[in-house]
Amino acid sequence: MEIINECRLLFTSVTVPPLLNGLLLSFKLAGGILLASLVAGTILALLKTYAGKIIGAVVTAYVEIFRNTPILFWITVCFIALPVGNQYIRASAGLFLASTATICEIVRGGLNSIGKGQIEAGKSQGLSRLQIIYAIILPQCLRRVVPNLINQTISVFKDTSFFGQVAIMEFLYCSRKLLGTANKYTGHGIGAMDAFIIFGAAAAVYFIINLLLSTIMRAIEMHGNKGKVVVK
């Protein structure tokens, strides 16, 4: 009963709206970053696959740098160093760069899984290289990498929690802020139970959202596998 009473004191009409606003901001930031990095990552994957060795090497260097360094490092660097944009754009730029590198590799894997015979077939029909990529290669590639893209969606949503380190009021930041002022609502000092309740609730929210995304991924995979004929 004590923990229930503590929850009632902590989660009220005063404290819940800021948490919901923080969660909404996390969704908005994650959505914008994912859309932008999907476009940029796809372009980089196409360049790495089809644009020749020099451009491919440059893209490879970019991917290796951003995949093998901490995301929080780039968020902090972009937040401090970018001369343009508001605080949300500057912070998002770091996660965008990292997500673009990951999506580039995801899409490149999909491109490599498509047989070269399809390119030759397109050429035999008089299609240009750009038309072949747009009409034949990309649609198949993107269907094949949907599960990995949804995994990346989950990762980006979770990684928005890093924005709190540069004072962006995303969901986890708002949860920490609530803990810091918990004594105003409970009437006693901040204790371990308050931390357990607040961060436990935050973890539950992240878990439920990511579980829903994982369920969508499995549903898409099952739908995509329907109708496939296994040739023995």
User: What is the C-alpha end-to-end distance of the chain, expressed in Å?
Assistant: 61
User: Mind listing the pLDDT tens digit for each residue in 22-56?
Assistant: 999 999 999 999 999 999 999 999 999 888 889 99
- Over range 116-121, report the average pLDDT: 74
User: Mind listing the pLDDT tens digit for each residue in 83-95?
Assistant: 888 999 999 999 9
Distance, CA of 194 to CA of 5 (rounded, Å): 11
Express as a percent the part of the chain with pLDDT over 90.
49
- Over range 74-90, report the average pLDDT: 91
| 229 pLDDT above the threshold of 60 | no
DSSP H or E stretch at residue 151: helix 146-159
Q: pTM for the complete prediction?
A: 0.85
Contacts of 76 (CB under 8 A, 6+ apart): 94, 165, 166
